[in-house]
Amino acid sequence: MKIFGVVGSSESGKTRLIEKLVAEFKRRGRRTAVLKHCPHGFDLDVKGKDSARFFEAGAEGVGLASPDRAAFIHRRGGESDLALLAGEQFLRADIVFIEGGKGSRGYPKILVLAEGEPLGKDLGLEDVAAVVSAGKRAWNRRVFAPEEVSAMADFIERNESGPGSAASVTAEVDGADVPLNLFVQKVFEQVVLGLVTALKDIGPEPRRVVLTVTRSK
């Protein structure tokens, strides 16, 4: 899984760009998902409907399911780690776009500038990997015109930074592959590496660790 942020002002064209990238990756046979950051809150349900009443009554989570789609609302205890949240919720996606979340860290971002919009301080943002701008400007980042969707998709596929391209952790139980979401992969990585690197003659940064547990009964 790759995770890529798309950030910019409210009228910069972030949503339209993500729409185009989703369509391009679908054409390429890639599965995509989108997480939209809503710092001012959101309402996915209709007040007075059963699911809204369950949530207002104090349920920790409420789900809605129909034959062709499903939605889930969970209570959260504050600002989320967007990359981990994306990994938890979109396990089957090849690429997850996070719209907004300018201040979030740990994954690469594309900064979208509206036509004529000044750069301001945004290029100093941590993790900005590329800029989308209608103007020809020289910066120390890769710059794409808004219509260069295919080239942007190539750039995203080649990018090797961020949590979706970090350590890959796989699990096999009794011969069957077990999918692990991003959060579980990170837990396994931290716990196993913490134990392994404490062993004698093991370097501080091993590149590959294979751990097999065979039970006698």
Q: What is the pLDDT of residues 105-128, one digit of tens each?
A: 888 999 998 887 777 666 667 788
Q: Is 106 left (phi over 0), alpha (psi -120 to 50) or beta?
A: left
Distance separating alpha carbons of residues 54 and 43, to the nearest angstrom: 14
Distance separating alpha carbons of residues 212 and 21, to the nearest angstrom: 40
The per-residue pLDDT for 37 is 86
The per-residue pLDDT for 26 is 97
Cα dist. 12→16, 21, 80, 97 in Å?
Answer: 9, 16, 24, 16
Higher pLDDT, 199 or 88: 199
Distance separating alpha carbons of residues 113 and 17, to the nearest angstrom: 11
pTM as predicted: 0.72
Residues pairing with 70 in the sheet: 65
**Domain range 2-165, CATH architecture:** 3-Layer(aba) Sandwich (3.40)
Residue 164 CB coordination number (10 Å):
22
The per-residue pLDDT for 96 is 93
Distance separating alpha carbons of residues 96 and 2, to the nearest angstrom: 6
Q: Count Cα atoms within 13 angstroms, Cβ side, for 129.
A: 19
- The answer to whether residues 34 and 195 touch, using CB atoms and an 8 Å cutoff, is no
Per residue in 32-64, pLDDT (tens digit) is: 999 998 866 676 666 677 888 888 899 998 888
The per-residue pLDDT for 84 is 81
Domains of the chain by residue range: 2-165, 167-217
Q: Which of 6-10, 89-93, 140-144 has the lowest mean pLDDT?
A: 89-93
pLDDT above 70 for 213: yes
- The answer to whether residues 159 and 2 touch, using CB atoms and an 8 Å cutoff, is yes
Share of the chain above pLDDT 70, in %: 87
Q: What is the mean pLDDT of residues 27-34?
A: 96
Per residue in 67-105, pLDDT (tens digit) is: 998 888 888 777 778 888 887 788 788 999 999 888 888
